[in-house]
Structure 1
Amino acid sequence: MKSETSSTSPNQLNASAPKLSKVYDRDFVLTDEYRAALPDMQNADSQHIFGANVPILKVGISNFRLPLRYITSSSDTLTLETSVTGTVSLEANQKGINMSRIMRVFYTFQDRIFTPDLLNEILLQYKEEIHAHRAQLKLSFEYPIMKPSLRSGLEGWQYYRAAFEGRVDELNRFRKYIHFDFVYSSACPCSSELSEHARSSRDVYSIPHSQRSTARVSVEVADGEHLSIERLQELCLEALQTETQVMVKREDEQAFAEMNGAYTKFIEDAARLLHEQLDAEPKIADFQVACAHLESLHSHDAVAVINKGVPGGFTGHFEDFKSLIR
């Protein structure tokens, strides 16, 4: 007995379907009715969720860039290219978020002068617009500070990797952070003593080893306080002394060699010296420091992490030491 199902072939079906236009219509006029009819899958109900219907800790966008204005310690303003990461929490039964809304909210603030405190306003608007319980925002940029040479009187711009970060929780409690990279020279105390031993005991010319090193300082700024990038740089310089130089003549190079001799340091010393300075700054509620020394003696790097030890604060967790190597 023959089947009564249709014998129409797929090719015949395709032939009968309307042919889609492949021409961009530059004359198309968007109407409110057309916009309202556009599908919105981000706001689809839970039946459209793929995988486990569970909350997502963070979802959003990363590395969208734009020029933003920052204020210096002398009340001048700087316009710096900034990489923005904005995320919110997503609860169970929610399909997704409107990613472009994060950017649109942020752009409404683009003409403001950016400080860690301003992030609170943006995050609260994120929560309202996207209906999230928690929100987080991070602005990463290169911050210039004019630095003098040690002896020659020259000056040059030193650029510091820095970031402002803000977080708002379910109760709208705001916490603000600054992340700051300080690049310095670390002369090994052991190598220095061994070199001097070779000179004094055997009249052998020796050079102790030193290397370019980086400390990533992350601080939580105390509520109601303002902490400048310049102040963080001063704290790091006071702790470690041997910041790498920008403009150098022979007299500056000699001075730098003398400074390395006066401030030799193991990586353990660097971490503890920074702890001492940061712990004494009343505007800093909590901090964590990760150091990496690009060893010129070894084929590996020396690393260290230290924190203030505030309950509920920085945990000391840090694994991305490669990001500290310049």
Structure 2
Amino acid sequence: MPDVATQVHSHPGAVLDWVGMDGIEMPVHFDAGNGDVQRANARVGVFVDLAQPDRRGIHMSRLYLLAGEYLGARPLDAPLLESLLRAFLVSQQGLARHARASLRFDLLVRRAALRSDHAGWRAYPVSIDACLDSAGFRLELGTEVTYSSTCPASAALSRQLIQQQFAHDFDVAAPLEHAAVLDWLGSERGIVATPHAQRSVARLAVRFAAGVPLNLVALIDRVEQALGTPVQTAVKREDEQAFARANGANPMFCEDAARRIQRVLDGDDTLTHFHVRVEHRESLHPHDAVAEASKPAPGKPHRAGATPSIGTAVLEQATDPVR
């Protein structure tokens, strides 16, 4: 059968960085480090460069078939993806020198309620990007952590209004009665102002030391514990009250949140690099408050704004480059 993609191009001289397919629907299996191998519905991208300027196109269907063969074989890990990329290059019969694959799916993690005996599921977005080029094999893993943040400035201003209301309602010259104060504290006048809080997102970029096992769930747990108020799943009244208490005791600016994550990741000797971007999606105004912190990779300068859309964790791989 004719294959016009292999014909000589009518405008030779142009090489293409990447050619392939994106958004391929495909099941994958993934162990996030807790031993729970999950089946996920992924969106997959497969690419190679077109290094031969006189060739019209690549063997695109071969990438699709190889992705289905390799990704369905066993749970995702770095060796599997490196093998897949090398198979991509072999399949192109000299047309390509570099290969890439990307995967997007959700990881479900069971989370217990704060006080009640209930539990529910949290879906964490996961991105995996693998590349094989002249620098060797690299694998990136991304996720997000969603949490609640109460504004410290708003909390202080709210406390001031409550103090003013108390001074108005209770005569300084009159003796205070315990029952009267207790009733006042339980009334709407005792909480005339409340601080604003908002749903916030932390995006992470982490480089693991070579040979360190990937444990995405442990990374998420450390970040959520540092923040103190991750969003909840199953919530009864006692859980909501516990969450309100945690927010009241845990006000934070975006700068505070970034530093908390920075501190916990800085103390992890399995990590050689990280980049943190936190976004507080303010309820006070329509724009976000943003803070970033990083520990640059060895030999690389600090570069602000480098975090991918949902964060990236980079696994250092001691593999041979494509020559």
> Take 1:99 and 1:287, find their aligned partners in 2: how far apart are those partners?
35
Q: For the residues of structure 1 that align with 2:264 and 2:47, how far apart are their CA atoms?
A: 32
**2:303 alignment counterpart:** 315
1:257 alignment counterpart: 244
Deviates more, 1:207-216 or 1:270-279: 270-279
What do the CA deviations read for 1:222-242 (whole angstroms, capped 9, x no partner)?
A: 322222221121121122111
**Matched residue, 1:183:** 146
Distance 2:214 2:37 in 1: 16
- Which of 78, 83, 88 is residue 126 of structure 1 equivalent to? 88
Deviation at 1:313, TM superposition (A): 8.0
Pick the aligned partner of 1:105 from 59, 66, 85. 66
Q: Which residue of 2 aligns with 1:5?
A: none
Q: What is the 5 A alignment of 1:196-275? A: 196-203=159-166, 205-275=192-262
Decide whether the 8 Å contact of 1:178 with 1:221 is kept in 2.
no
1:86 aligns with 2:46: yes
Instruction: Tell me the SS of whatever aligns to 1:107.
Output: helix
Residue 317 to residue 124, structure 1, CA distance change in 2 (3 Å): farther
Could you report, residue by residue, the CA deviation over 1:126-174 in whole angstroms, capped at 9, with x for unpaired residues? 1222242222222111101100010112100111011222222225x11
Which of 105, 125, 138 matches 1:141?
Answer: 105
The 8 Å contact of residues 26 and 68 in structure 2, kept in 1 or not, is answered as: no
- Cα 1:290–1:155 change in 2 (3 A) is same
Q: Could you tell me how far 1:69 is from its partner in structure 2?
A: 1.1
Q: What TM-score does the superposition give when structure 2 sets the normalisation length?
A: 0.80
Greater shift after overlay, 201-210 or 250-259?
201-210
Aligned partners of 1:182 and 1:69: how far apart in 2?
Answer: 22
Pairwise CA distance, 1:54: 3.0
Asked whether 1:153 is paired with 2:117, we answer: yes
Report the AA paired with residue 156 of structure 1. G
Q: Which moved more, 1:154-163 or 1:126-135?
A: 126-135
SS in 1 for 2:10: helix
Give 1:72 deviation, angstroms: 4.3
User: Equivalent residue for 2:173?
Assistant: none
Pairs aligned (count):
282
The residue that corresponds to 1:54 in the other structure is 14
Amino acid in the other structure paired with 1:123:
L
Q: In 2, Cα distance between the equivalents of 1:194 and 1:45?
A: 71
SS in 2 for 1:82: strand
Per the alignment, residue 170 of structure 1 pairs with 134
Cα shift readout 1:211-231 (whole Å, capped 9, x = no counterpart):
001112122333222222211
**8 Å contact 2:40–2:106 — kept in the other structure?**
yes
Which whole-Å deviations, capped at 9, do the CAs of 1:93-142 have from their partners, x for residues lacking one?
Answer: 14322222211111121121112442111112112222422222221111
CA distance in 2, matches of 1:126, 1:101: 8
Distance in 2 separating the partners of 1:285 and 1:57: 29
8 A contact 2:34–2:217 mirrored in 1: no
Structure 2 Cα separation of the partners of residues 92 and 306 of structure 1? 41
Change (3 A) 1:104 1:97: same
Query: Contact 1:176/1:220 (CA < 8 Å) preserved in 2?
Result: no
**Structure 2 unmatched ranges of 5 or more:** 167-188, 312-323
Check whether the contact 2:34–2:215 (CA below 8 A) recurs between aligned residues. no
1:296 to 265, 271, 283: 283
- The code of the aligned residue for 1:176 comes to L
Instruction: Please say if residues 276 and 307 of structure 2, whose CA atoms lie closer than 8 Å, have aligned partners that are also in contact.
Output: no
Q: Quote the residue 1:287 is aligned against.
A: 274
Gaps of 5+ in 1: 1-34
